[in-house]
Amino acid sequence: MKQVKNGITYTPESVVIDSPRVVQQIRFISKNAFIIRFNRDNLQFKAGQFVAVGVEPLQQREYSIYSGEKDDYIEILVREVLGGNVSQQLKQIEIGQSLLVSGPLGITTINEEDINSKRFVFIGSGTGISPFHSFITSYPKIDYTIIHGVRYLSEAYDKNDYDPQRYVLCTSREKGGNYYGRVTSFLLDFRIGPNTLFYVCGNSSMIYEVYDILRKKGVSMGSIHSEVYF
């Protein structure tokens, strides 16, 4: 049955709404970014989907699932937004406390038949790397390149989880990554091979620019998938 909550429409029967989950682990990966792990139970999802998470009823926000399809827990990567409501509440949460979780939601997933036949370029800004972490954890044989755009080196979240040959860190405010500048500048000179699908995730202005660049390079709309965070 169709249900609307916090402006989000929930339709499939597999979606759970406001299910209480218990925080099992919290891992800070920078001063203001952290990974929350909670129990998975009956939550079935495809890598690339997200959940709505909050501490109080009617106060939930969307977070991409960071963990893999086969993990027996769910993880999300959250960055505290200054002045933000839910991300600040999540930063204060402690192990053993409850979260209200709804989901899974979203359609920015990978078709099974493409996993072994296509190349993938994942382009993310900030926490927009989260669904890509789920992709590579879920599909270890996938042929991927990740282009991660951040301001500072400290925002290269869990970079050791990625194959260094397949991971490009673009830092816009300090040197020391693989490329000094924004992901969009890096992309201008990026050589695009055949049979490639693009997944773009993060802030909307970056996503619009990436679409423009890729379209000018001849990439079809159908080969570009995106998830806008804000």
Ligand X SMILES: Cc1cc2nc3c(=O)[nH]c(=O)nc-3n(C[C@H](O)[C@H](O)[C@H](O)COP(=O)(O)OP(=O)(O)OC[C@H]3O[C@@H](n4cnc5c(N)ncnc54)[C@H](O)[C@@H]3O)c2cc1C
Judged by the rule CB under 6 A, the positions of this chain that interact with ligand X are 50, 61-64, 76-79, 81, 83-88, 126-127, 130, 227, 229-230
Q: How near is the Cβ of 195 to ligand X at its closest, in Å?
A: 27
Which of 15, 23, 20, 22 lies closest to 45 in space, CA to CA? 15
Q: How near is the Cβ of 172 to ligand X at its closest, in Å?
A: 14
Residue 81: left if φ>0, alpha if ψ -120 to 50, beta else—which one?
beta
Task: Please identify, using beta-carbon distances, which residue of 62 and 213 lies nearer to ligand X.
Answer: 62
Q: How near is the Cβ of 117 to ligand X at its closest, in Å?
A: 27
Q: How near is the Cβ of 59 to ligand X at its closest, in Å?
A: 8
Please identify the residue of the shown chain whose CB is closest to the bound ligand X.
84
Task: Give the CA distances from residue 108 to residues 66, 132, 182, 183, in Å, rounded to whole numbers and listed in that order.
Answer: 14, 11, 23, 20
- Asked if 178 and 150 touch (Cβ cutoff 8 Å), the reply is no
Which of 152, 64, 62 lies closest to 108 in space, CA to CA? 64
Task: Please identify, using beta-carbon distances, which residue of 63 and 198 lies nearer to ligand X.
Answer: 63
Task: Please identify, using beta-carbon distances, which residue of 46 and 62 lies nearer to ligand X.
Answer: 62
Task: Please identify, using beta-carbon distances, which residue of 94 and 118 lies nearer to ligand X.
Answer: 94
- Asked if 161 and 136 touch (Cβ cutoff 8 Å), the reply is yes
